[in-house]
Structure 1
Amino acid sequence: MSTCKITKSFVDKLALPEKGQVFYRDSELKGFAVRVTTGGSKAFVLEKRINRKLKRITLGRYPEITVEMARKEALKYLGEIATGIDPIAKRQQAQAEQMTLWQVWQDYRRIKSYLKDKTYVQYEMYLNGELEDWKNKRLVDITKDMISTRHGRLLKSHSPSYANTAMRILSAIYKFAKDQYEDSNGLSLFPHNPVDRLGQIKAWAKEPRRQTVIKPKQFELWYKELQAMKFNTGAESHHVVADYLLFLLLTGLRKNEGATLTWSNVDLDEGTIYIPDTKNKEPLTLPLSDVLIGILNYRLRFKTNEYVFSSRKTKYLAHPEQALKHLCETSGIKFTFHDLRRTFITVAESLDISSYAIKRLVNHKNGSDVTEGYIINNHDRLRAPMQRITDFFKENCKINMDYYVSR
């Protein structure tokens, strides 16, 4: 450490250190210094205790700024510090205020890279859609009133679920910004979330929960048209999707859980399947009924890759929507992928299967149920309930086991 009067001629004559960096501190203005690195960089800095911590503020590189300019800048910062202002936090705040919604979203996506692809697709669908005019707005410029107005407008043009989802996406980005961007004192640079306004004025729209299921009187027709789609349309995707839809109905699995099922997670000897990636992050092991084993043995004949329900284009069955639409049209029964799950649960309840067994079969959790935490999961105990549910569908759908392969 060296102390001397910092002048232009002094800085010009400074030799480069052999390694690292060296500081030369000014003898007249306490805290003012010049930093020299082995790479040839010379920069003016100000060292000062702020909130009891020694901080170093870079004033500028030499010769981009002169010694006189750097000294004036140092005096300005010292004046701010004397009046209780943290110039580092102030500079960080000024930089943060320039960040746009889209820039923060890019950081969100980069840091939260563990999320599912469909999450990113959904976020960008809204950001490039109804929120596109806000993409290049600074985050600090989006106000509570703007949130209320946009939410109200979306409620008029779209469903309550659509409007609420757009606002939830914005809220998630603001929550990320609050936690991610901090000043040198650990304080958030984005402490306020304007989407909170919707909760404060109770403006979140009520979203009616879907209650649609395939009715028992529709089961036979539904299955008949399912098999017609499988064997008579000639479309390879229809052949796969037909087995996939029946598999969803007989397991209660979510759309993606079934579509991404791999052969490595199928144990035909044990009569189980394993779902490692579920919505609630809890892996699921399900026992297989006789029809489910028949479907899997049948699909094994057409194995082309690691996925049970495979696609030549996308490896797994990524886009079964067209086949579902075809079945809706030919059967006259309107249903969604999740309706199959609801139908499974509804049938299970109608058979007086215990609520604990149903929750385990569909991997539902009840955080408020203390007793549930003491019960050890055992898929063998679920085998009988699973077969009972399948037997109900076998009888009411008139499932023909000749279409499948037995054990």
Structure 2
Amino acid sequence: MAHLKLSKKVVDSINPPALKEDGKPSQEFYRDTELTGFGLKVTNTGNKTYIVETRINGKPKRMTLGKHGHLTAEQARKQAQILLGEIAQGNDPVADKREKKIQAVTLRDCYKEYLITRRDLKPNTLEDYKRCIEGSLEDWLDKPVTAISKDMVEKRHRKLGIRSHARANNTMRVLRALLNFAMERYEDKNGNGIIQINPVNRLSSTRGWYEVKRRQTLLTPTQLKPWYEATLKLNQEVTRDYLHFLLFTGLRRSEATGLKWDDVDFDEKSFIIPDTKNKEPHRLPMSDFLEDLLKRRYRQAEKIWVFPSPITDGPLKEPRTAIARVISYSSIQFTLHDLRRTFITIAESLDIPAYALKRLLNHKFSNDVTAGYIVPNTERLRAPMQQITNYIMEKIKE
């Protein structure tokens, strides 16, 4: 550790230190003889940085002023003198700098960190978040989260609601989740959250949320035949089989597209969905229709996916073009989730027991002590599964 009167000439003459014996980077420090606490750090790569070293609240602190070349020795010494004077008056520039950085956290920063933290979010949820934040709130991304006010939330919610009530509500729910995350994640120097009240709460206190009725659309018994016949006109067999699979299993779209051949057991005549909405693996028996469909697909299998994409090496994406064609051929409006609702409605109409129905849909038994003692048995679902298949096939053949 050397002590020198730091000047441009002196700093320019200092050679970088050699690497350590083990080959690791090294650095040397030079303290100024004119101003106590002012110094220079030199690394083996040749970087020369002016620093301030002192104690703040009894703890040693080292602060960077800037690189030699960007600052002269005299400029750096003056900055160091000002900084040391502030510390002598009881200020903490390190904490102040951290405070400014925290207060400047933007919605984009919060969004990125939230996604890193929530690694369990499913692809569909991530896509929904992207539509809400990057689509509906794109002009807010570089605003500090502390600058998002109740009035801003209310006005944007109203504006989005002109086009879609559901989209407006969903966007604000996602924003509320991000700001709740920010309230816990980012604290000021006193340990308080930089956001004390979530501005999205105004929509609840003023009853500003739009009333969005849950979709109740499904395929009626008389629509099953024309819908099925329309699917047979599709060019892509994988898409046709995928639509049939959704109808005959009641699975969610992502559960079906994520199905791999390793998840299918032809000996047991069953298949398992390992990654589900409620985090519980979901095993279902094959009805005769499903067994024929899966065996036919297996004979043609070239990839690990039961429903592979015709374009990429990954699984099938939502077949929007195929859905539009089926709607055009049949004149029946439907969504993929309508097929799940159709399956559920048929199951209920056949008086399938409540426990079997919940197992078929992989719904959790909330507040039911008895359900906790029941061990799921796939074989007990085989008859109800076949019963639903028989009903659909009867309507298709009418």
Q: TM-score, normalised by structure 2?
A: 0.81
Quote the residue 1:252 is aligned against: 250
Pairing partner for 1:33 from 31, 39, 63? 39
**Shift in Å at residue 2 of structure 1?**
4.6
Quote the residue 2:22 is aligned against: none
Letter in structure 2 aligned against 1:70: A
Distance 1:187 1:26, change over 3 A: farther
Q: Distance in 2 between matches of 1:83 and 1:118?
A: 54
**Shift in Å at residue 104 of structure 1?**
5.2
Quote the residue 1:208 is aligned against: 213
Q: Distance in 2 between matches of 1:344 and 1:292?
A: 14
**Number of corresponding residues:** 391
Quote the residue 1:402 is aligned against: none
Q: Tell me if 1:64 matches 2:63.
A: no
Q: Gaps spanning 5+ residues in structure 2: where?
A: 20-25
Distance 1:244 1:25, change over 3 A: same
Quote the residue 1:336 is aligned against: 335
Any residues of structure 2 matched to 1:238-317 within 5 Å, and which? 239-314=237-312, 316-317=315-316
Any residues of structure 2 matched to 1:208-227 within 5 Å, and which? 208-215=213-220, 217-218=221-222, 221-227=223-229
SS of the residue corresponding to residue 325 of structure 2 reads helix
Pairing partner for 1:77 from 74, 83, 105? 83
Quote the residue 2:354 is aligned against: 355
**Residues 3 and 32 in structure 2, CA contact (< 8 A), matched pair in contact too:** yes
Q: Distance in 1 between matches of 2:106 and 2:350?
A: 54
Quote the residue 1:55 is aligned against: 61
Pairing partner for 2:157 from 151, 155, 167? 151
**Residues 21 and 36 in structure 1, CA contact (< 8 A), matched pair in contact too:** yes
Q: Distance in 1 between matches of 2:57 and 2:247?
A: 63
**Residues 225 and 395 in structure 2, CA contact (< 8 A), matched pair in contact too:** no
SS of the residue corresponding to residue 253 of structure 1 reads coil
Superposed CA offset, 1:4-28 (max 9, x none): 6555565445443223112234466
Q: Gaps spanning 5+ residues in structure 1: where?
A: 400-407
Pairing partner for 2:169 from 164, 169, 177? 164
**Residues 165 and 210 in structure 2, CA contact (< 8 A), matched pair in contact too:** yes
Q: Distance in 2 between matches of 1:31 and 1:57?
A: 10
Pairing partner for 1:22 from 28, 35, 43? 28
Q: Distance in 2 between matches of 1:27 and 1:377?
A: 79
Identity rate of aligned residues, in percent?
45
**Residues 254 and 338 in structure 1, CA contact (< 8 A), matched pair in contact too:** yes
Letter in structure 1 aligned against 2:147: D
Q: Tell me if 1:391 matches 2:381.
A: no
C-alpha RMSD of matched pairs (Å): 3.5
Q: Distance in 1 between matches of 2:62 and 2:164?
A: 53
Superposed CA offset, 1:223-274 (max 9, x none): 35413541xx3x422x443332232122110012113322222111111112
Quote the residue 2:200 is aligned against: 195
**Shift in Å at residue 279 of structure 1?**
2.1
Distance 1:64 1:186, change over 3 A: farther
Letter in structure 1 aligned against 2:281: P
Q: Distance in 1 between matches of 2:76 and 2:340?
A: 68
SS of the residue corresponding to residue 236 of structure 1 reads coil
**Residues 3 and 27 in structure 1, CA contact (< 8 A), matched pair in contact too:** yes
Distance 1:303 1:37, change over 3 A: closer
Letter in structure 2 aligned against 1:40: G
Letter in structure 1 aligned against 2:212: E
Letter in structure 2 aligned against 1:269: D
**Residues 89 and 185 in structure 1, CA contact (< 8 A), matched pair in contact too:** no
Distance 1:10 1:229, change over 3 A: closer
Quote the residue 2:23 is aligned against: none
Q: Distance in 2 between matches of 1:213 and 1:250?
A: 14
**Residues 271 and 287 in structure 1, CA contact (< 8 A), matched pair in contact too:** yes
Distance 1:10 1:278, change over 3 A: same
Q: TM-score, normalised by structure 1?
A: 0.80
**Shift in Å at residue 388 of structure 1?**
3.1
**Residues 249 and 343 in structure 1, CA contact (< 8 A), matched pair in contact too:** yes
Q: Tell me if 1:141 matches 2:141.
A: no
Distance 1:139 1:373, change over 3 A: same
**Residues 257 and 275 in structure 1, CA contact (< 8 A), matched pair in contact too:** yes
Superposed CA offset, 1:349-395 (max 9, x none): 33443433322222223454455444433323332332333333344
Distance 1:245 1:3, change over 3 A: same
Any residues of structure 2 matched to 1:89-100 within 5 Å, and which? 89-95=95-101, 100=106
